[in-house]
Amino acid sequence: MARVGQPDWDVHVVAPSFLHGDLRPIPFEYSTKDNGNVYTNKIYFSKRIHFMIYGRALKKILAQGWDIVHAWEEPYILAGGQIAFWTPKDARLVYSTFQNIPKRYPPPFSCIERYAMRRAAGWVAFSHSVQAALRNRYAYSEKPSSVISVGVDTDMFRPDSAARDRIRSELGWGINGPPVLGFLGRFVEEKGLRLLMQVLDKLPTAWRALFVGGGPLETHLRDWGAKFPDRVRIVTGVPHHLVPAYLNAMDLLVAPSQTTPRWKEQFGRMIIEAFAVGVPVIGSDSGEIPHVIRDSGLVVAERDTEGWIRTLAELINSPLMCRHFRARGIQRAQDEFSWPVVARKHLQFFREIMDQTVA
């Protein structure tokens, strides 16, 4: 936003100095590409995101006379309410949300959400399914909204054959060999790892599998992988700047997310990262995945085990189809998901909100 908004926008960012992430602890990492003003601030209770709060330094920062305050926090959690309470009345407050299932939150979260959304001037839905879930909900329906996806750094995530060869060598694999099917993300039930293991057990064509991430299913995944010591690699604790190299080591990315009564895939950031490095994607039809993949990959019904086996085998055995999806994914990443594109969409929405409130 700071780069594409010059000279009309002066962008300042407040980031946690430390966050307990889903996959690993995350200390603040300053990027040399950041040309906006970046502040770090302590946060507390980040292991349980609903109860997370910011340190009081944020209150002083918010009091500095902003036109727009963009809260990349859910409006129903404590931090979301804290930002609403500390944002001056003359600043336009905009939330971003991943809520793609309508839920009734218990107190105090329901009270926080009502208060925050009454205070808000608008909200950003990170996906089409989020907007559909919230557009008729109390307070949300009364506010301007826009569907703007998360983005990908296409300078960092790009095709890199040298990185592919290096990672495969580090994993003890030959540069050539059976295709590498990859998974990137949390090792949890809803991400479909059990289905993927069943599919690989029955896949009729040769394969290797690379799992990058972490989570409670790691032990189960390693026990299963022990059956295939030459074909399965499980890598945990990978910092974000190394993710592009591991993605490049994959020939296909598999995103077999499974909908539960209280969760469905909210976006699938790994999909657009795979697009950017030129890795074809096969995903389930959970939540937002079909909207993200569209014509740039293949979508299979969540629990259709035979369909997954058939589709994976088809793609593995079709170099022409793989080349098509590589090219299509790279183009989509550049045209729709690159950070400059996403930043311009945010700034356009912010300008519309400012024009409406002035009018």
pLDDT at 358 (0 to 100): 60
User: Across residues 65-76, what is the average pLDDT?
Assistant: 96
CB 316 within 8 A of CB 205: yes
Give which of 75, 100, 152, 74 is closest to 291, Cα–Cα.
100
List, by residue range, all CATH 3.40.50.2000 domains of the chain: 12-151+338-358, 161-335
* Per-residue pLDDT at 290: 97
Name the CA dihedral angle for 24, 25, 29, 33, rounded to a multiple of 10 degrees: 30
- pLDDT (mean) for 9-37: 81
- Quote the pTM value: 0.93
- 323-344, pLDDT tens digit by residue? 999 999 999 999 999 999 999 9
**Mean pLDDT within 176-202:** 97
Match 């604790």 to its residue by tokens. Answer: 237
264 to 73, 247, 258: CA distances (angstroms): 19, 24, 7
Q: What pLDDT shows up at residue 325? A: 98
- Residue 104, token pair as written in the block: 């009734």
pLDDT of residue 33: 65
Helices (H), the chain: 57-62, 78-86, 109-119, 128-134, 161-170, 193-202, 218-225, 243-248, 269-277, 289-293, 305-316, 319-332, 339-358
**pLDDT surpassing 70 at residue 135:** yes
Both tokens assigned to 246: 């591991």
Instruction: Decide if pLDDT at 151 tops 70.
Output: yes
| Average pLDDT value for the chain | 95
Second CATH level (architecture) for the domain 161-335: 3-Layer(aba) Sandwich (3.40)
What pLDDT is attached to residue 25? 81
pLDDT, residue 139, reads 87
Instruction: Kindly indicate the confidence band of residue 356, based on its pLDDT and cuts at 50, 70 and 90.
Output: confident
Q: pLDDT value at position 34? A: 60
The confidence score (pLDDT) of residue 37 equals 87
In this predicted structure, the answer to whether residue 36 has a pLDDT above a threshold of 80 is: no
Element (H, E) at 146: strand 145-147
pLDDT digits (tens, 9 = 90+) for 263-314: 999 999 999 999 999 999 999 999 999 999 999 999 999 999 999 999 999 9
Token pair recorded at residue 44: 């507390």
Fold annotation for 12-151+338-358: Rossmann fold (3.40.50)
Average pLDDT on 163-185 reads 96
231 neighbors 147 (Cβ within 8 angstroms): no
**Per-residue confidence at 165, pLDDT binned at 50, 70, 90?**
very high
359 has a pLDDT exceeding 60: no
CA–CA dist 352, 358 (Å, integer): 10
